Every structure is written in C-alpha cells, then in structure tokens.
Structure 1
Amino acid sequence: MLDLSVAYKKYKFIGSEFLTWLFYVAENEAFRISEDLEIGISTHIVNISFENEMPKETLSIKGDDSVDRDECTSALRRGALVSKIRLAFEIRENIYHFTIHADWLSFSSLNLPQTESIAEDSDGATLERIYLYNQAVEAMDKLFERFIRIRLSNDWNAAVSNIRKWITRD
C-alpha cells in the first residue's frame, strides 16, 4: 500500500484533469448525470496553475456573469491546469453553487439552495441542510465516477482530442 504522501504525488494530476474535463463538459455539452442533475460553470472563478514553473504561477479568471472562456483556453493552451473552479449544479430544481479544488477535490463556499423549510424547528432545518449538502456531495461523486470511467476506458483518447479542439478553436 502506498504511503499517503507518495500516492498524493503520484496521482496529483487526476484532480486537475477532472476539473479541466468538467470545465470542458460544462462549456460544451448539455450535461445531465440523470434527469435530476445538470451542471454549469457558475459565474465568477476559474483558477489555472502553471505547475511546472517555479514559483508556481496562478491565473484567476473571474467574471460577473461568466468567466472569459478565451482567457481560460489560452492559459490551457500554454500548458496550465485547472486548479480551482466554481460550479453551479441544478438538482431537482434546487441550485447549488460551490468551489472545488483540484488538490484534494475538496469543496469550499458551498451555497445551498434557498428552500421553504417545512420544518419550523431548528432540528428540522438542520436535517434539511444535511440532506441538501448530501445531494451536492452525491452529485460530485457521480460526476467523478463518470470521469474515472471515461479516464480508464478507450474513450479517454477521444475525450482528450475533443478537449484539445475546444482549447485551440478560435
């Protein structure tokens, strides 16, 4: 069994590949995991890192309504990797916004949807928030599972080719 630090260094690229794939999918496909789940790039932020440069350079691309795709793809053409991205999910008509980081595939800034809570008491509201949080985590699990299935299959070469075409298109 690999030591955690060795495994992290060996497989660190998977998070950036996943976020780059996710960025591509959200920008180019009407992407539904199921009838209940649709993803999109939320307003505001994509961080792209040039891993091979010392010191490590990071480009943060932000926007009011959407990120500047041309600026993102230009950085990706130069060999950058997506290190952080803000996503919007629609799950059963509930909209979630959150940031996911490539290093550990960790969430931050999770904005749960506003709901009309049936429960007036604090226990009911807490249980509802836990349920909504779990929906977001399960959706990311399904997305990552789909990515890994593609990544380990013969379809990966076609996916890489499509991503390259997207990055280089004018």
Structure 2
Amino acid sequence: MDLVDLITEKRFLGQEFLTWLWYKSEERGGAVAVPGRGDVSVTFEKHMLLEYGEGQEQEKVICRGLQTELKEARAGLSLAKKPEQARLKLEWHEQEFGVTLTAATFEFRNVRLPKIVDRADEGRGPEDLEARVLERLALFELLSDLVLDLFRLFIGIRISRDWPRELLQIRAWIQESSQRLAQP
C-alpha cells in the first residue's frame, strides 16, 4: 500500500479526532483534561472545512463564523459532513497557540506561536538571533506535543470499551446543536 492509499484509508481518524475535540472543547467550557499535562484549553475559531461523500462525489464546504457559533459547520455535522480542517486556539500554562489542523495528514498550517519577550537590553548579535530561533523552535515543539497529547487521549478512548458511550454522547451533542440552530 502506498502512502496516498494509506492516508485515504485512515483519514477518518483525523476527522473523528476533530469532531471529538470539538465536542470535548464544549463539554467543560473549553478545558480538556489531558493526563500528565492537566487542562488544555481548546477553542474552535472562525474557520472550518467540512467534507461530504467520497471520490468524484466528494463535496467540500468552507464554514466561517464567530468562535462559539460556527453555525453552518454545526448544521453540517448533523448532515454527516466531516471536519477536514479546523482553526484551533490552544492554551496551556499561559501559553497561547493558534493552528489550522488538517485531519487527513495532521498538517499544521497558519501557526501562531506565543510572543517572545523582546529584550531591549540584549544585543542584536548572532547569539541573540540564535536564542530567539531556539526559543521559537521550543514553542513549536510544545504546540506539536499538545496536539499529540490530545490525539493520544482521543485514540485511548477510541480503542477502549468506553468508545460506544462516548460516541453516543457526541451524537447527542450534534443533535442538541442542530436543534438549537433550528429554533428561532
């Protein structure tokens, strides 16, 4: 099996992860309890790409909206559309990251790292530049670790006996969101 076939076959895991993460982000007001790390605040921001169908029948819909709404995306979930890409804000220990995560390949796009304190008293020599680059690399690694920890949590639940119960809760959340949208 080549890489493209493998990505196509396993893309559902990334889509399920984004759906689960969206559900989890609303379950406790944005805080997702990650074992060994504590609470990670997850917010779905104003951009999401949904997919429906397969092959030549595949459709893609870009949804935009306020952070807490994404009404079109919520309606899409109730119509069996799956998140393929989502803009996320992750916060952990006063560090705030922004990233657009692609479900099929776990590609990070439009990464926004926390601001690095600019030390005015430091020189602008090569050592200072190297220190800033290393600090940014460390922040990117932390972002990567946060996403991987969230994914590990998801996979742990996904392969456990708790998955059917979790899936029922996710479906109820989608149904509830759909009903709220239908009300005037």
Say yes or no: TM over 0.5. Answer: yes
3-state SS in 1 of match to 2:160? coil
User: Cα–Cα, structure 1 residues 127 and 36, in superposed 2: closer, same or farther, change >3 Å?
Assistant: farther
| Residues 12 and 103 in structure 1, CA contact (< 8 A), matched pair in contact too | yes
Match of 1:115 in 2: 116
**Partners in 2 of 1:61 and 1:5 — Cα distance?**
26
The superposition leaves residues 38-59 of structure 1 with CA deviations (integer Å, 9 ceiling, x where unpaired) of 2221x21111111337442212
3-state SS in 2 of match to 1:116? coil
**Structural mapping, 1:1-170, within 5 Å:** 2-29=1-28, 30-33=31-34, 34-35=37-38, 37-41=40-44, 43-52=45-54, 54-63=56-65, 65-66=66-67, 68-117=69-118, 121-169=128-176, 170=179
| Residues 42 and 88 in structure 2, CA contact (< 8 A), matched pair in contact too | yes
**Partners in 2 of 1:36 and 1:72 — Cα distance?**
25
CA RMSD, 1 decimal: 1.9
The superposition leaves residues 73-109 of structure 1 with CA deviations (integer Å, 9 ceiling, x where unpaired) of 2211111111001111112201000100011011000
Letter in structure 2 aligned against 1:12: R
**Partners in 2 of 1:54 and 1:7 — Cα distance?**
19
| 5+ residue gaps, structure 1 | none
| Residues 95 and 112 in structure 1, CA contact (< 8 A), matched pair in contact too | yes
The range that moved more, 48-57 or 77-86, is 48-57
The alpha-carbon deviation at position 158 of structure 1 amounts to: 1.0
Letter in structure 2 aligned against 1:91: W
**Partners in 1 of 2:175 and 2:55 — Cα distance?**
22
Count of residue pairs brought into register by the alignment: 167
Match of 2:182 in 1: none
| Residues 73 and 168 in structure 1, CA contact (< 8 A), matched pair in contact too | no
**Partners in 2 of 1:9 and 1:47 — Cα distance?**
17
* Moved >4 Å (runs of 4+): 117-120
User: Cα–Cα, structure 1 residues 48 and 67, in superposed 2: closer, same or farther, change >3 Å?
Assistant: farther
The range that moved more, 101-110 or 21-30, is 21-30
